[in-house]
Amino acid sequence: MAKYRRSGLPTRPGTETLPLVAIVGRPNVGKSTLFNRLTKSRRSIVGDEPGITRDRIYGEYEWLGRHFRLVDTGGIVPDDPELIPVEIYAQAKVALEEADALVLVVDARTELASPDYALVKLLIKGGKPVFLAVNKVEGEAMAAAAENFRQLGLRNVFPISSEHGLGIGELLEGISEAIPKPALTAEEAEAVDLQAHDFEAEEDEIYEGSPVAPESDADEHPLHRTHGEFEQHETSVAIIGRPNVGKSTLLNALTGTSRAIVSPIAGTTRDAVDEVVEFEGTQFRFVDTAGIRRKGKTHLMAEKMSVVMARRHLEAADVALLVIDATEGVTGADATIGGYAHESGRSVIILVNKWDAVTKGRTDGKPPADREVFEEQLRRVLKYLHYAPVIFLSALEGTGLGRVLNEVKAVAIERRKRVSTGQMNRFLEKVDFQRAPVPMAKRIRIFYMTQAAVAPPTFILFTDRDIKLHFSFERFLENQIREAFGFKGTPIWFKVRARNAAKKD
């Protein structure tokens, strides 16, 4: 497998040294609401059902000019024997070990119980500053009730309302004071002095009434652009698929971590879990999404929200890894999920997971599956993803993962490829459109083409008639473009602009 390395916690590049604050507590006390408010996001799913958050969710927040990382953990119930709670505790324990400060969230409307005392004992044992956030405090009566939680023995007690933003400032100020500011290095101190000197010089010029000439730094800091689009420094990769096809196992295998909880229970992942990996100089952010299922199959609010969030993370990604369970074959649900990726313009790589279970590890007495036959069936069901490469792998065994990283890198590059108008018109001259299987009434004449956008590559066709492209003609033209220019793994979009319509405009 090709060598790669993780670039620390899943935050923006360069933020790994920021102090980390962990939000912990029992289920359904408002940890995710507090996380979302501080990070100004909707990363964590919020609801009335207990135990919605399971994995670690990372973010960032700023307070009085200082930046912090934040991690939202699943609800901790010490000594819970069930499979998922044990895994949640394991994930939370990692966050406790990484964190510089801990925020224990409790619900002001509930009575203290033995799990609260056990949790406090666990947090104090780590020797890190612990802050007690008594949540859901609205009104004087609740503020008085919050004082009862001092029985837990914690000195830093803050009554707050995550939903309404009350008392949050006092909590953040206490955290900021408890975490010492990092000392500046000699280089950083020199940079600060230079900035101060420049600022004073600029003030003097303004005071004396002389104009301040802006310095030209175009050569020192060139804009990262590619034909009008910003150059990407990070590629977002969404891992999508039905529940229980091995998405979380794949994330853990690709990143070499235990970031996502893995269990045989379908629907274990609810929040999107992400991790950054650096591979051959390129940064990939892998996002493990919840299993997407039909509306009729989702009953709990958390399940419905997780499907909505999975769709959102897919639409925000550059590349989608569509995971298919080899033991179950390609299903209609796989085709539906693949359709979401295709229609939203994501680049797609199809991963046939658990391939070892139907080949060398087969235990049902049937002959090993044939790769060519399986891919032929797959292509028949997912015919609209004809451009997507197919990889057979086993996330559990760790086979085939090297090719995944190589394909993601290649597909991300193809997604942002641009063809010049001159190249496109020379290409048009060589295409024999008489071979296109299109009815005469639907045929059009293309005067010239130009690529209007990338990600996905989008072409404008200047034609003699303003009609919708016939499916057969569009597929023919797409195949010709792919044969000439590639665009592996990405859909190609076409827009028609009639010459007579242009004259009217």
pLDDT at 215: 42
Residue 78: band (very low, low, confident or very high) from pLDDT cuts 50, 70, 90: low
266: helix, coil or strand?
coil
Q: Determine what percent of the chain is predicted with pLDDT higher than 90.
A: 41
Cβ atoms of residues 381 and 322 within 8 Å? no
- Report the DSSP beta bridge partners of residue 463: 446, 498
pLDDT over 80 (residue 219): no
pLDDT over 60 (residue 30): yes
Cβ atoms of residues 170 and 102 within 8 Å? no
Cβ atoms of residues 321 and 250 within 8 Å? yes
**pLDDT digits over 343-373, tens only?**
999 999 999 999 999 999 888 888 999 999 9
Segment 178-205 mean pLDDT: 59
Predicted TM-score of the model (pTM): 0.66
Residue owning tokens 């408890």: 178
Lowest mean pLDDT among 48-52, 191-195, 281-285: 48-52
C-alpha 243/C-alpha 239 separation (Å) is 12
Q: Determine what percent of the chain is predicted with pLDDT higher than 70.
A: 72
> Ranked by mean pLDDT, which of 22-36, 157-171, 179-193 comes out on top?
157-171
Residue 123: partners with Cβ closer than 8 Å, 6 or more residues away: 24, 96, 102, 104, 130
Q: Could you tell me whether strands 229-230 and 225-226 are parallel, antiparallel, or unpaired per DSSP bridges?
A: antiparallel
Q: How many CA atoms within 13 Å lie on the side-chain side of 179?
A: 23
pLDDT at 194: 58
pLDDT at 178: 93
pLDDT at 25: 84
Task: Tokens for 463, please give them.
Answer: 């034609």
pLDDT over 80 (residue 103): yes
Task: Tokens for 230, please give them.
Answer: 């910003």
Query: Could you give the angle at which helices 332-343 and 371-381 cross, rounded to 10 degrees?
Result: 60
**pLDDT digits over 374-429, tens only?**
999 999 999 999 999 999 999 999 999 889 999 999 999 999 999 999 999 999 99
349: helix, coil or strand?
strand
> Which of 13, 20, 61 lies closest to 39 in space, CA to CA?
61
Lowest mean pLDDT among 50-64, 296-310, 468-482: 296-310
The length of the chain in residues reads: 505
